[in-house]
A and B are shown apart, each in its own frame.
Chain A
Amino acid sequence: MAGGSSGPVPPARKRKSVMGTRPWVAGLFLLPALVLLGALVVYPIGYSVWRSLFDADGSSFVGMENYGDIFTDDATFTAVKNTAIWVAVAPALVTGLGLIFAVLMERVRWSTAFKMVIFMPMAISMLAAGIIFRLVYEADPDQGVANAVVVGVHDTFAESSVYPNARPSPESDLKASGGGAFTTTDTVRAGVPALLPLVGIAPNKLPGDPVDAQPAESAGDEVSGTVWLDFRLGGGGEKGAIDAREKGLSGIKVEAVKDGEVVASAKAADDGTFRLPTEADGAQLRLPASNFAAPYNGVDWLGPSLVTPAIIGAYAWMWAGFAMVLIAAGLAGVDRNLLEAARVDGANEWQVFRRVTVPLLAPVLVVVLITLMINVMKIFDLIFIIAPQPTQDEANVLALQLYNAAFTGSGDLGLGSAIGIVLLLLVLPVMIVNIRRLRRERRR
């Protein structure tokens, strides 16, 4: 069909194109693309500019009011602030990680495998990454790996309470004495073993290897007693008495208190028995609150204060591979002799990195940073998925606010359009740089 264009062409028109194509043929090749670009990309920009000057339902002209609202409307202003945080933190973090990985990776033989591991998250959707990190940040340390690690580390270094839900059985003499502690109303006598029955824990949920509780032997002028779980699987047994198969509560702290002063304290043995010295004679027994404190449950990753940093972490997980691969490509082009020369001059590895490698990589680092900034300005999916409904307002960003304003609830298309235009203005400098670079290349 286009064969008609093969006729003789005046040489003057053959500047760049050998083909001597007739304009209408070029037009046919271009037409679909230009029509689609015009209708789907250019027209929407014009429409958005126009629409942003009208109110929510488009009925009256409001001028620049929607743009003012971006900074006065609470929800939108939070989004502005968070977008600023994202742009300031995430690209720098990701570029830093990429730089470290790229430099270190060069020195191991399995760098290809390492690259694949770090780059893999780039393949998956932000939705999938969001679901992955919802699971990571799950608050319950028995579900979310982040909190499992945090709690594990915390419990290694800090004493944790053993029986968070335990409480005295109603029949016992122990009564709540404020602050979560329980104290006997009567005083103990040496030689008369005290009974401190607790309930509120399922016998099969006891930590460690519970041992059957034993009555304490009366030992001369010492005070003794038993702390045990006054309940056994299958029920039965007498309340307030140590029955067969009822377990001792090992490790519970027992204090002897006289006139509000702690005179002695001890920890229950595996079978629940404890011994206190003579001074405890005539004291009240107290089970301090530390026995029952709620366990440390880790960090509230997706709570109001940490939700944005947590999601930035998920973003870094996704994009570090991108930065790493670009920087590694730049690194491969760096002249090794320069690094070697610096080493010969006595520079240590850190100095070589800081004074030679990084400056040589500066152009690549800038490209990576800018690309990530553009990317981060438009971040939407990760926040939409990871931030739970109650804290989504705290994690709000511009792209999410545009969606919320325009497509949920009453639908403020004026404000939504204004946010869209602001997003466009934010990437405008990059657009100009792209055009400039292209024209420079052309002139060469």
Chain B
Amino acid sequence: MTAPSVPVKEPKEPLAAAEPAGRPERSLVSRLASGAAGGVMRIFLILIALLWVTPTVGLLASSFRDPTDIADSGWWTVFSKPAQLTTESYSTLLGKEEITDSLLNTIWITVPATALVIVIGAMAAYAFAWMDFKGRDWWFLVVVALLVVPVQVALIPLSALFGDLGIYGSITGVVLFHVGFGLPFAIFLLRNFFAEIPRELLEAARLDGAGELRLFTTVILPLGAPAIASLGIFQFLWVWNDMLVALVFSGADSKPLTVALTEQTRQFSGNIETLAPGAFISMVIPLAVFFAFQRQFVSGVMAGAVK
């Protein structure tokens, strides 16, 4: 089990339970004892699960209450007084142009940053996996070395560089930053996967007269789809959830939702009626991705955690 190289090959069923192998017969007493222990354990796990969902439920409940109720009592009162539930906070929030604009900016940043990393990363990964050129292994080592470079190192240099290029404070700058720091992982993940594609398939296509570009688009990309999906999900969530890069590189009219909400947390204290629905809106897409693509999600997040 090695860190970044595991996921794509292994987690065929990462969320499936592993059944313990058949146990030998036990005496009645030990069965009763283990039954009692099992009961305690089950209760413990249920309590843990409750502990884990409570914070999120609290935010969700708060986002559906109006400010006076929020100031008056805790979110848990909605369970005894469901009449408090209202979508008012959401409509107020979505009525603010600043928020809707920032939501659009999030999309305008996330989609290109994901697409570019996939395309550019896949091209380079293909070259590393199947082309022969001088210093190939050495170059790949460089890419692997760059895997763990913290984004913080680049904040100051790139704000100077982007300033010179005139893209500081624009969506382009934020996208470029994410592409640069998404590439090492993309190349690493995809190269390992592409290298496993059977040689015969490529040779057959080559004999049919396919050029590099056709090989890439008709053989590599379709066969590499599982890895590309994991990468795409990971990169999408990474960019969607990013705050630091956008905080530094976006400007007043290019800031994504995370930055807009951050400003809310700094400007006023305790304006939970704005923060709760805002946070929830920012969570909806990631949660939808999580529930829809659990397998790719888990392998993507597992693989990219070193970042």
Q: Which of A26, A106, A114, A378 contacts B131 (CB 8 A)?
A: A26
CB contact between B187 and one of A33, A119, A328, A329 (< 8 Å): that residue: A33
Within 8 Å of chain A (Cβ to Cβ): is B287?
yes
Complexed CA–CA distance, A2 and B241 (Å) = 38
Residues in B whose Cβ lies below 8 Å from that of A26: 127, 131-133
Are B58 and A136 within 8 A (Cβ)?
Answer: yes
- Which A residues are CB-close (under 8 A) to B243? 125-127, 381, 384
Interface string of B127-152 (1 = CB under 8 A from A): 11011111001011101111111111
Contact A36 B179 (CB under 8 A): yes
- Asked if A377 lies at the interface with its beta carbon under 8 angstroms from chain B, I say yes
Of residues B38, B152, B237, B272, which shows the largest number of chain A Cβ atoms within 10 Å of its Cβ?
B152
* Across-interface contacts of A410 in B (CB, < 8 A): none
Whether a CB of chain A sits under 8 angstroms from the CB of B11 is: yes
In the bound complex, do residue B17 and residue A47 qualify as a contact, i.e. CB atoms below 8 Å apart?
A: no
Known: A104-B45, A336-B20. A380 touches B244 (CB 8 A): yes
The answer to whether A29 touches B20 (Cβ under 8 A) is: no
Q: Judging by beta carbons under 8 Å apart, are B212 and A21 in contact?
A: yes
Contact of B45 among A114, A388, A403 (CB under 8 A): A114
Q: Which B residues are CB-close (under 8 A) to A130?
A: 265
Binds B, one of A157-165, A175-183, A432-440: A432-440
Can you name the residue of chain B whose Cβ is closest to the Cβ of A320?
B52
**Least CB distance, A396 to chain B, in whole angstroms:** 14
Is B18 a contact partner of A3 (Cβ separation < 8 A)?
Answer: no
Minimum distance in angstroms from A195 CB to a CB of chain B: 34
Q: Given A26-B131, A332-B18, does the pair A37, B150 have CB atoms closer than 8 Å?
A: no
Q: How far is the CB of B136 from chain A (nearest CB, A)?
A: 8
Contact A124 B302 (CB under 8 A): no
User: Closest approach, in angstroms, between the C-beta of A362 and any C-beta of chain B?
Assistant: 10
Residue in A138, A317, A328 whose CB lies within 8 Å of B18: A328
Is the CB–CB distance between A435 and B144 below 8 Å? yes
Q: Counting CB contacts under 8 A, is B167 at the interface?
A: no
Q: In the docked arrangement, what's the CA distance between A416 and B156, Å?
A: 8
* Minimum CB distance partner of A20 in chain B: B132
Bound together, the chains give a CA A219 to CA B70 distance in angstroms of 49
Q: Which of B10, B55, B132, B216 lies in contact with A329, CB distance below 8 A?
A: B10
Q: Is the CB of B176 within 8 A of A48?
A: no
Residues of B participating in the A interface, judged by any CB pair closer than 8 Å: 1-4, 6, 10-11, 14-18, 20-21, 23-24, 37-38, 41-42, 44-45, 48-49, 52-56, 58-59, 62, 70, 72-76, 120-121, 123-124, 126-128, 130-134, 137, 139-141, 143-161, 176-177, 179-181, 183-184, 187, 199, 202-203, 206, 209-216, 237, 240-244, 247-248, 258, 261-262, 265-266, 269-270, 272, 275-276, 278-280, 282-283, 286-287, 289-290, 294, 297-298, 301-302, 305-306
Interface residues of A (CB under 8 A from B): 1-6, 13-21, 23, 25-27, 29-30, 32-34, 36-37, 39-45, 47-48, 51, 101, 104-109, 111-128, 130-136, 138, 141-145, 148, 317, 322, 325-326, 328-333, 336-337, 340, 344, 349, 363-364, 367, 370-371, 374-375, 377-378, 380-381, 384-385, 388-389, 399, 402-403, 406-407, 413, 416-417, 419-421, 423-424, 427, 430-431, 434-435, 437-439, 442
Contacts A18-B199, A19-B206, A43-B161 supplied; 20 other A-B pairs, CB < 8 Å: A19-B132, A27-B133, A34-B139, A40-B176, A51-B156, A51-B157, A106-B18, A118-B52, A123-B290, A124-B241, A132-B59, A135-B276, A145-B58, A322-B302, A332-B18, A340-B23, A377-B150, A399-B152, A423-B152, A438-B141
Q: 15 A-B contacts, Cβ less than 8 Å apart?
A: A33-B123, A36-B179, A43-B157, A47-B160, A101-B48, A105-B45, A121-B56, A125-B283, A131-B59, A371-B3, A380-B152, A403-B244, A406-B156, A417-B156, A424-B153
